[in-house]
Amino acid sequence: MRLFFLALIIGLIGMQNRGAAEEGQNLPTDVKVTYIANAGFLIQVNNKKVLVDALFKDVENEFYDCPSTELTQRIIDGEGEFAEINLVASTHEHIDNFDEKIVASVLVNHPESKFLSCSKTIDQLGNNSQYQRFKKQLVSITPERMMHIDTVINGIEVRTYRISHGPYYIEDPLTGRKTDLYKFAEHVAFRFTIDGVTVFHCGDSNSNALAEYEQLRLDRDELDFAFLGRGFLYQPQGQGVAIMKKYIQAKHYVIMQIQHEDNEYYKEVADAVKSELPSIKVFEKESESRTYNITPLQGALTSY
């Protein structure tokens, strides 16, 4: 009889511990988002960190904001929040998203970090003089167009999508014919799942890609965050907002690629759609951070 009661007590304690563990898994989690420049952000969930599209040069131009050389050096040196980054990722090789020398410096200084991008970007790193020191940290994933590949890198689940780069047209002065310079750009987007928190980063995709977002159906992924280019928020009644409401449906949006002088305009548009899209953030300055309280999604996400 004593053995029976002892077994019963042990069983009840085990059930309580399992229940507490399960409840703990569903507890809200702080997610810290730090703006670097353009489409570059540091995303931190618990002790895991992802740095995406943030390593590029500070060059004077009229098209996009750049990280200061001081901030880039802090990243290279691993100061403060930039220590022990699990995953560094670039959506493509363009100069406002990626710089081979800066990425190489980060990887050499941080052997614990992995770098993820598509093949053209990875190929550029093969020309770096320090390539042999960091080559094992590289992860090259280039799906077929409108396909995706799932993997786990340093404890972070990643779905890499092959989607189109937003168009950039130039006009022939003689014929008037317009050509999209980026039509054949090798470009990917990412969905990171970091301790159950789901984050989509579109890279330089934009709201012209209605057919692609109809096919992706990100609304099925129960996204916590979607990082989207400014074109999605260009007009309150525009196609981009329609895509956000129907085909993305994230709990929180971060609008990227906004130059400082345009911040107020996009904040006004965000206010105009607040009743249907209540959480849209426009970051206004380098190193600005915001912390969100998220209840993580439990279990593996379904593949579509």
Residue with structure tokens 């990243």?
A: 75
Per residue in 78-127, pLDDT tens? 999 999 999 999 999 888 889 999 999 999 999 999 999 999 999 999 99
Alpha helices in the chain (DSSP H): 2-25, 69-77, 100-109, 119-125, 131-134, 210-216, 239-243, 263-272
Distance CA 126, CA 107 (A): 13
Beta carbons within 8 Å of 230's beta carbon, 6+ residues apart: 255, 256, 257, 258, 262, 266
- What pLDDT does 58 receive? 84
What residues does each domain of the chain span? 29-291
- What pLDDT does 165 receive? 84
Entry pTM: 0.87
- What pLDDT does 19 receive? 44
- What pLDDT does 94 receive? 85
Q: Residue 299 is which amino acid?
A: G
Distance CA 78, CA 73 (A): 8
- What pLDDT does 24 receive? 45
The domain 29-291 is placed in CATH, from the list 3.30.70.260, 1.10.3720.10, 3.60.15.10, 3.40.605.10, at 3.60.15.10
Residues of the chain below pLDDT 70:
1-26, 166, 168-169, 180-182, 297-304
